[in-house]
A = this chain, B = another copy of it.
Amino acid sequence: MDDRSFYHSVQDTTESEEFLEHVFRIILEEAVRKGMDVREKVCNWKDPEELQSLLDLELRSSKESPNKLLEYCQDVFRYSVKTGHPHFSNQLFSGLDLYALAGRMITEALNTSMATYETAPVFVLMEEVLLKKLRELIGWQTGDGIFCPGGSISNMFAMNLARYRRYPDCKQKGLWALPKLVAFTSLECHYSIQKAAAFLGIGTDNVVLVQVDDRGKIIPEELEKEICDAKSQDRVPFLVSATSGTTVLGAFDPLNEIATVCKKHGLWLHVDATWGGSALFSRQHRSLLNGIERADSVSWNAHKMLATGLQCAAFLLKDKSDLLKQCHSASASYLFQTDKCYDISYDTGDKSIQCGRKVDCLKFWLMWKANGTEGLEKRVDRAFSLAKYLVEEIKKREGFHLVMEPEFVNLCFWFIPPSLRGKEKCDGYWERLGKVAPVIKERMVKKGSMMVGYQPHGSKVNFFRQIVVNPSTTEDDMNFFLDEIEKLGHDL
């Protein structure tokens, strides 16, 4: 067998290198130039059934030609949402930082796993540098941490560690050996806390959703009351998960008050700062997270406000006793050999529940180098000031009604269409108002002019949630955004 020729029948690198060049050109044109251009569409909406018929997704026996493949790539861009577009504010992430993208492309080209130093020497060291900087922003001089595949799993790590610190036996013996545990969070928490309780075998019934005030912040007195109630029922409180930047309202729980309650009752304090954590970069706004240094653990997603690109979810820990590794490790002898030629404390993979783990640090590190801490601070400050600008514009306009004065960059508001204005007291007003946002959303995506989220929330009917975080949005874009809602909803 002539291996070289056989090899080339599998993968001809001349042809595929040329293909890669073409794809890079398409990326520059479609994702960078057009994808970030306000004159272009955010999305080219098709219903699932229609899109299915427009795409040739079928996987066949025979290989297809490079030209055909390039057409497929064009199709992928044509029908995908441009999350870097200044008019995309549908999620907590948006924007396209080209330094971060460069970091992501290098990551993909090097394609390695973070499990051990020997396969990821540069990235193991780089991850440590980043985690340390993030811990410093929290106010911790020492500690531990790891990047996770998303904030939901970071929150799971927190719950597992809190359980393990209190009952290390759980790892071997399971929950049957433990008293009935109970965790506390607020009614406004991210749904991943409930997912964590279900997945970790604790059960969603054992997550107490504590009352919040009218700003969506947990009420510390209610928290303490719930903790005492649980104790009186022979349930064992073990964790409080506070939120810094709730998903819908952008509320920050009062961390100092919560920390005092946790200290008093000996509970692990986790702060889900997946969304709001990046405010720590801003000397002007970091007070929103006052008290975070008293937490035991923090989840912080840099892919949201800092636009590093999905995923960049740091799980940070105050502990310096190697709790993370003790809790998660399995010491696989084929991977974490103890007779290696280097200091095996650099093999950090066993701190994770993953085996192969993607490199999430390079994109963040390179973007940080390119912007400096000051640049990242500016990015955060700019989001706050644009959000403030939008609030003022909303207040000036008839037909826009804030759900509440925001303290973060989530702007929640109703658009009251002409036919409903002044009819707040009429029967069916709220029901009719609740149908407005979905119609406007449908019209905007079908037009492709912008993407913004809406949702009902507690007793409140559907309202828009504008997330002002895309580093490339401007005041003009904010004006466009309001004009466009007016235009799309003028006949409702």
The reply to whether the CB of A426 lies closer than 8 angstroms to some CB of chain B is no
Q: Interface segment, A15-23, A208-216, A255-263?
A: A15-23
Cross-chain contact A1 with B177 (CB below 8 angstroms): no
A264 to chain B, nearest CB (A): 25
Tell me the interface secondary structure of chain A in the complex: helix
CA distance A60 to B434 in the complex (A): 48
Cross-chain contact A203 with B174 (CB below 8 angstroms): yes
Chain B residues whose CB sits within 8 angstroms of the CB of A152 once the complex forms: 353-356
Cross-chain contact A122 with B174 (CB below 8 angstroms): no
Q: Interface segment, A217-225, A366-374, A480-488?
A: A366-374
Q: How many copies does the complex hold?
A: 2
Tell me the residues in window 123-156 of chain A with beta carbons closer than 8 Å to chain B beta carbons.
Answer: 123-126, 129-130, 133, 149-153, 156
Chain B residues whose CB sits within 8 angstroms of the CB of A149 once the complex forms: 149-150, 153, 354, 358
The reply to whether the CB of A90 lies closer than 8 angstroms to some CB of chain B is yes
CA distance A320 to B339 in the complex (A): 47
Cross-chain contact B333 with A455 (CB below 8 angstroms): yes
The reply to whether the CB of A303 lies closer than 8 angstroms to some CB of chain B is yes
The reply to whether the CB of A231 lies closer than 8 angstroms to some CB of chain B is no
A451 to chain B, nearest CB (A): 7
Instruction: Say yes or no: A73-B366 contact (C-beta < 8 A), given A57-B125, A104-B108, A105-B105.
Output: yes
Chain B residues whose CB sits within 8 angstroms of the CB of A375 once the complex forms: 10, 63
A170 to chain B, nearest CB (A): 7
Chain B residues whose CB sits within 8 angstroms of the CB of A16 once the complex forms: 97-99, 370
The reply to whether the CB of A453 lies closer than 8 angstroms to some CB of chain B is yes
The reply to whether the CB of A288 lies closer than 8 angstroms to some CB of chain B is no
Tell me the residues in window 19-36 of chain A with beta carbons closer than 8 Å to chain B beta carbons.
Answer: 19-21, 23-24, 26-28, 30-32, 35-36
Cross-chain contact A445 with B118 (CB below 8 angstroms): yes
Chain B residues whose CB sits within 8 angstroms of the CB of A123 once the complex forms: 80
Contact of A120 (CB < 8 Å), options: B69, B80, B340, B451: B80
Q: Interface segment, A48-56, A237-245, A396-404, A415-423?
A: A48-56
Cross-chain contact B201 with A310 (CB below 8 angstroms): no
Chain B residues whose CB sits within 8 angstroms of the CB of A270 once the complex forms: none
The reply to whether the CB of A414 lies closer than 8 angstroms to some CB of chain B is no
Q: For residue A374, which residue of chain B has the nearest CB? A: B61
Q: For residue A340, which residue of chain B has the nearest CB? A: B438
The reply to whether the CB of A297 lies closer than 8 angstroms to some CB of chain B is no
A51 to chain B, nearest CB (A): 6
Chain B residues whose CB sits within 8 angstroms of the CB of A462 once the complex forms: 339
Instruction: Say yes or no: A174-B206 contact (C-beta < 8 A), given A20-B101, A373-B59.
Output: yes
Instruction: Say yes or no: A371-B118 contact (C-beta < 8 A), given A6-B382, A99-B16, A156-B353.
Output: no
Instruction: Say yes or no: A109-B334 contact (C-beta < 8 A), given A1-B385, A19-B102.
Output: no
12 inter-chain pairs at a CB distance below 8 angstroms, sorted by A residue, are: A13-B36, A23-B102, A48-B117, A61-B374, A63-B370, A81-B120, A111-B309, A111-B310, A163-B201, A174-B205, A196-B353, A199-B199
Task: Give the 4 A-B CB pairs with smallest separation, nearest first.
Answer: A201-B201, A174-B203, A149-B149, A3-B474
Known pairs A55-B126, A174-B203 / 10 extra A-B pairs, C-beta < 8 Å: A10-B378, A19-B370, A59-B133, A59-B373, A81-B119, A108-B309, A171-B204, A172-B204, A337-B455, A337-B456
